C-alpha cells in the first residue's frame, strides 16, 4: 500500500529521545528511551517451535533488539507456570538485556471473547507480554474491549496488599477479670512480642508466667493478635524472584502498563486491508490512545498534529552482506520484502521486524547486529 503523501509527519523528523519526552503512553515513552539507549530500532520475530530455541534466541540476540515478537502457540513445550515457566524465564532475559515482549496474537473476535483470550486461559498473555496486537476486521469493539481489559488489569495491579501481624501477650493487669481483659484488648496493650507458634497464638515468656503465678493469676495461653493491612503502590511488575541488579544499566524496568498495536496494513501480497480499513484503525487508535501504542503498518500513520503513534513494520530484509546491491525478493509465499532504508527512511516507520533473515542466518548474532546498524543508520539519516 502506498502512502497518502510523500511528505512525512513532523514526528518522524524528531529524535526518539525527544519523542519519548512527549509521549503520553508510558510504554511508548519507555520503548523510545530504550531505542535511544541501545541505538536500535530492531524487533526480531522469534518464530520457533521449542522453548529452548525461543529462550536461546532471546538471550543471544537481546543486546541488539528492543522488541522480541513471540507466537507462544507455536511453542510445543511452553511451560505455563507463572513463576518458573517459559514466560517467566523470558521476562528475566528481557529485563537483563532491555527489550519488550510482543506477543503477536492478532486478536480478531467479538469483544467479550478477545477480553477472555487476553486475560484468561492457559497463557494469560496480559501477565507477561508488554505488547500485543489486534486484527480489527471484527470492528472497533475488539479494540475497545482489549483496552478495557488492559485498564482493569492495570488497576488490579496498581496496589499490592501488605499484611502485618503483631503477636503479643496481655499485660498482667489485663487478666484480673474478663471485663478488664476485654477493655485492654480494645486498648491494644502488649508486652514484648512472644515467640509465635501460629497466627493468633503464642507462648508466654517464662518471666511473665512466673510473675503471674506470684500474683495468683492463672497464666493464659491466648495472646492478642493484631492484623493490619495497607496498600503500597506497585509501579512495576512484581515476580516471585528478586532480580537484584538484573536490569539493563541506564534504564529502569518496564512500566506496568500494557500496550496494543492495531494491524492496519500488511506486507503480504494481495491482502484485503484497503484504505477504508486502515483509516478506521487510525480512528480507533485515537479513541483509545491510553492503550493503543501504534500500528503494524507499512508506513507511518501519524496524520494529525497530535498523533504520536509508533509503527512497526514486518517484511524487512537486507541483501547478502557480500553483495549489498543485490535485489531483495519475496519469499515465494506472498511475503514482500523491503530494506531498512525504505521502511525507516522513506516510509517513516519506527521499528523494523525481522524474522527468517536473522534466525535462519548462519550466524544470527552477527546478522542481528547488521540489521540493527542498518536500521539505525536509516533513522539517523531521516532525522538529519
pLDDT at 242 (0 to 100): 42
Say whether pLDDT at 199 is over 80. no
Which of the listed residues 173, 202, 233 is the one where a domain comes to its end? 233
Average pLDDT of the residues in 19-24: 96
Query: Is 40 one of the annotated binding-site residues?
Result: no
> Is residue 303 in some structural domain?
yes
59, 97 Cβ separation under 8 angstroms: yes
Query: What is the pTM assigned to this prediction?
Result: 0.77
State the Cα–Cα distance between residues 254 and 237, nearest whole angstrom.
8
Indicate whether 52 and 193 sit together in one domain: no
| Same structural domain, 134 and 118 | yes
Q: What is the pLDDT of residues 295-342, one digit of tens each?
A: 999 999 999 999 999 999 999 999 988 877 767 766 566 666 899 999
In terms of Cβ atoms closer than 10 Å to its own Cβ (0-12, 13-18, 19+), residue 268 is: middle
Same domain for 150 and 38, yes or no, is yes
DSSP string spanning 208-266?
HHHHHHHTTPPPP---EEEEEEEEEE--S---SS--TT-S-TTS-PPPS--EEEEE---
- What average pLDDT does the segment 139-167 reach? 80
What is residue 332's predicted lDDT score, i.e. its pLDDT? 60
Distance of CA 312 to the CA centre of its chain: 16
Q: How far is CA 106 from CA 79, 276, 292, 311, 320, in A?
A: 21, 19, 14, 16, 31
In a shared domain, residues 260 and 355: yes
Q: Is residue 289 part of a domain?
A: yes
Was 45 annotated as part of a binding site? no
Residues 329 and 341 in one domain: yes
Place of cell 484503525: 281
pLDDT greater than 80 at residue 284: yes
Contacts 24+ apart (CB under 8 A), 283-290: 283/140, 284/136, 284/140, 284/143, 284/144, 285/143, 285/309, 287/140, 287/143, 287/144, 288/143, 288/144, 288/147, 288/260, 289/24, 289/25, 290/24, 290/25, 290/147, 290/151
For this structure, is 22 an active site residue?
no
Instruction: List all residues 6 or more positions away from 283 whose beta carbon is below 8 Å from its beta carbon.
Output: 140
Kindly list the distances between the CA atom of residue 101 and the CA atoms of 95, 146, 233, 304, 373, in Å, as whole numbers in the listed order.
10, 17, 24, 29, 21
Instruction: Give me 360's grid cell.
Output: 535462519
The CATH number of the domain holding residue 103 is 3.20.20.70
Do the domain assignments include residue 5?
no
Lowest mean pLDDT among 108-122, 227-241, 244-258: 227-241
Q: Which of 107-121, 230-244, 250-264, 275-289 has the lowest mean pLDDT?
A: 230-244
Judge if 260 and 179 occupy the same domain: no
DSSP 316-345: B-PPPTT-TTSPP---SSSB--B-HIIIII
Q: 69 a known binding residue? A: yes
**Angle at 299 (CA atoms; ends 296, 301), nearest 5 degrees:** 80
Q: Which of 30-39, 69-78, 202-211, 251-260 shows the lowest per-residue confidence on average (mean pLDDT)? A: 202-211
Q: Look at strands 196-198 and 201-202 and give their pairing.
A: antiparallel
Residues 6+ apart with CB under 8 A from 337: 267, 315, 316, 317, 328, 329, 330, 331
Q: Catalytic: 104?
A: yes
Residue 3 lies in a domain: no
Residue 255 lies in a domain: yes
**What's the rounded mean pLDDT across residues 171-199?**
42
The pLDDT of residue 205: 47
63 and 197 in a common domain:
no
Instruction: Please indicate, yes or no, if residue 342 is contained in any of the structural domains.
Output: yes
Same domain, 225 and 258: no
Q: Work out whether strand 292-296 and strand 100-107 pair parallel, antiparallel, or are unpaired.
A: unpaired
For residue 1, CA distances in Å to 18, 127, 311, 382 come to 29, 34, 15, 21
The upper half-sphere exposure of residue 66, i.e. CA atoms within 13 Å in the direction of its Cβ, equals 27
19 in a known ligand binding site: no
Per-residue pLDDT, averaged over 72-80, amounts to 97
Query: What pLDDT does 142 receive?
Result: 96
**Which domain-ending residue is among 186, 214, 233?**
233
Rounded CA separation 148/28 (Å): 18
pLDDT of residue 237: 42
265 shares its domain with 301 = yes
Give the residue-averaged pLDDT of 277-293. 97
Q: Phi, psi (5° rounding) for residue 259?
A: -130, 155
Residue 244 assigned as binding residue: no
Residue 4 belongs to a domain: no
146 and 167 fall within a common domain: no
Residue 1, domain member (yes or no): no
End-to-end CA distance of the chain: 26
Among 207, 233, 259, give the residue marking a domain's end: 233
Element at 351 (helix H, strand E): strand 351-354
Strands (E), 98-175: 100-107, 131-135, 159-168
**Marked catalytic residue, from 59, 106, 144, 157:** 106
pLDDT of residue 265 exceeding 50, the answer is yes
pLDDT of residue 376: 98
Per-range mean pLDDT, top range of 141-155, 213-227, 333-347: 141-155
218 shares its domain with 336:
no
13 has binding-site annotation: no
Q: Which residue among the candidates 104, 184, 350, 374 is catalytic per the annotation?
A: 104
Same domain, 258 and 379: yes
Round the average pLDDT of the chain to a whole number and report it. Answer: 82
Catalytic entry in 109, 279, 290, 307? 109
Which pLDDT does position 266 carry in this prediction?
87
- As for how many domains the chain has, the answer is 2
Domain of residue 221 covers: 161-233
Amino acid at each position: 500500500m502506498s502512502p497518502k503523501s510523500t511528505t512525512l509527519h513532523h514526528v518522524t523528523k524528531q529524535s526518539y529521545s525527544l519523542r519519548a519526552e512527549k509521549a503520553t503512553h508510558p510504554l511508548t515513552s519507555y520503548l523510545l528511551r530504550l531505542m535511544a539507549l541501545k541505538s536500535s530500532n530492531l524487533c526480531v520475530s522469534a518464530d520457533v517451535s521449542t522453548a529452548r530455541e525461543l529462550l536461546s534466541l532471546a538471550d543471544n540476540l537481546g543486546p541488539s533488539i528492543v522488541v522480541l515478537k513471540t507466537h507462544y502457540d507455536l511453542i510445543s513445550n511452553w511451560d505455563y507456570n507463572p513463576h518458573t515457566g517459559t514466560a517467566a524465564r523470558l521476562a528475566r532475559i528481557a529485563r537483563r538485556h532491555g527489550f519488550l515482549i510482543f506477543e503477536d496474537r492478532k486478536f480478531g473476535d467479538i469483544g467479550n471473547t478477545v477480553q477472555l483470550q487476553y486475560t484468561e486461559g492457559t497463557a494469560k498473555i496480559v501477565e507477561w507480554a508488554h505488547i500485543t496486537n489486534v486484527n480489527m476486521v471484527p470492528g472497533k469493539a475488539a479494540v475497545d474491549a482489549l483496552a478495557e481489559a488492559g485498564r482493569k488489569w492495570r488497576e488490579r495491579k496498581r496496589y499490592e496488599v501488605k499484611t502485618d501481624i503483631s503477636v503479643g501477650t496481655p499485660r498482667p493487669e489485663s487478666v484480673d477479670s474478663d471485663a478488664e481483659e476485654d477493655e485492654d484488648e480494645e486498648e491494644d496493650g502488649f508486652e514484648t512480642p512472644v515467640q509465635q507458634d501460629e497466627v493468633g497464638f503464642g507462648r508466654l515468656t517464662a518471666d511473665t508466667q512466673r510473675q503471674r503465678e506470684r500474683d495468683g493469676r492463672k497464666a493464659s495461653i491466648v495472646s492478642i493478635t493484631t492484623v493490619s493491612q495497607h496498600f503500597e503502590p506497585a509501579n512495576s511488575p512484581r515476580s516471585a524472584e528478586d532480580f537484584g541488579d538484573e536490569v539493563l544499566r541506564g534504564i529502569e524496568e518496564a512500566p506496568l502498563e500494557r500496550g496494543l498495536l492495531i494491524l492496519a496494513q500488511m506486507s503480504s501480497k494481495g491482502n484485503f486491508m484497503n484504505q477504508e480499513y486502515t483509516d478506521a484503525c487510525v480512528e480507533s487508535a485515537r479513541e483509545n490512545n491510553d492503550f493503543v501504542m501504534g500500528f503494524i503498518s507499512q508506513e507511518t500513520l501519524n496524520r494529525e498534529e497530535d498523533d504520536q503513534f509508533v509503527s512497526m513494520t514486518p517484511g524487512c530484509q537486507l541483501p547478502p552482506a557480500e553483495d549489498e546491491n543485490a535485489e531483495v525478493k519475496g519469499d515465494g509465499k506472498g511475503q514482500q520484502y523491503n530494506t531498512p532504508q525504505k521502511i525507516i527512511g522513506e516510509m517513516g516507520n519506527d521499528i523494523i521486524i525481522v524474522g527468517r533473515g536473522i534466525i535462519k542466518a548462519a550466524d544470527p548474532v552477527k546478522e542481528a547486529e547488521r540489521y540493527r546498524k542498518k536500521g539505525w543508520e536509516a533513522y539517523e539519516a531521516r532525522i538529519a
